[in-house]
Amino acid sequence: MSIIGTPVKRKEDPRLLTGNGKFTDDIKLPGMLHAAFLRSPFAHAKIKGIDVEKARQLPGVAAVYTAADLHGKVKPVPTMWYVPGADLKAKDRSPLAGEKVLYAGEAVAVVIAEDRYIARDALDLIEVDYEELPAVTHQEKALEDGAPQLHDDVPRNLALLWKAGDIPDEVFEQAEVVVRQRLYNQRVIPNPMETRAAVAQYNPGGGEMTIWCTSQNPHIHRMIYADVLGIPESKLRIVAPDVGGGFGAKIATYTEEAVVAHAARDLQRPVKWVEERREHFMATTHARDEVIEVELAGTRDGIFTAIRVKNTANLGAYLSTFGAGCPTIDFGLMVPGAYQIPHIGQAMSGSCKTWWSDWS
Instruction: Give domain 22-134+190-283's CATH architecture.
Output: Alpha-Beta Complex (3.90)
Give residue-wise pLDDT tens across range 287-335: 999 999 999 999 999 999 999 999 999 989 999 999 899 999 999 889 9
Instruction: Annotate 292-350 with DSSP letters as a single string.
Output: EEEEEEE-TTS-EEEEEEEEEEE--SS--TTTTTIIIIIHHHHTTTT---SEEEEEEEE
* Alpha-carbon distances, residue 290 vs 169, 188, 312 (angstroms): 24, 11, 6
Give the tens place of pLDDT for each residue, 162-220.
888 888 899 999 999 999 999 999 999 999 999 999 999 999 999 999 999 999 999 99
Which residues lie below 8 Å from residue 188, measured CB to CB, with a gap of 6+?
A: 286, 287, 288
Mean pLDDT of 122-146: 96
**Model pLDDT, residue 1:** 65
CATH topology identical between 22-134+190-283 and 139-187+286-351: no
- List the end-to-end C-alpha distance of the chain, in Å, as a whole number: 48
Strands (E), the chain: 33-39, 45-51, 61-66, 100-101, 107-113, 127-132, 158-164, 177-188, 197-203, 208-213, 236-239, 271-274, 287-298, 304-314, 343-351
pLDDT exceeds 70 at position 352: no
Q: Do the Cβ atoms of 208 and 202 come closer than 8 Å?
A: yes
pLDDT of residue 9: 87
Report the distance separating Cα 294 and Cα 296, nearest Å: 6
Report the distance separating Cα 202 and Cα 211, nearest Å.
9
Tally of residues, the chain: 360
At 353 the pLDDT is 42
Q: Residue 347 has what pLDDT?
A: 47
State CA 305 to chain mean position distance.
37
pLDDT band at 89 (very low <50, low <70, confident <90, very high): confident
Q: Are strands 127-132 and 45-51 parallel, antiparallel or unpaired?
A: antiparallel
Q: How many CB atoms lie within 10 A of CB 227?
A: 15
Q: Is 357's pLDDT higher than 70? A: no
- Strands 236-239 vs 271-274: parallel, antiparallel or unpaired: unpaired
State whether CATH 3.40.50.1970 applies to domain 139-187+286-351. no
Which amino acid appears at position 128 of this protein?
V
Average confidence score pLDDT of the chain: 93
All structural domains of the chain with their residue ranges: 22-134+190-283, 139-187+286-351
The predicted-structure confidence for 10-28, as pLDDT tens digits, reads as follows 888 999 999 999 999 999 9
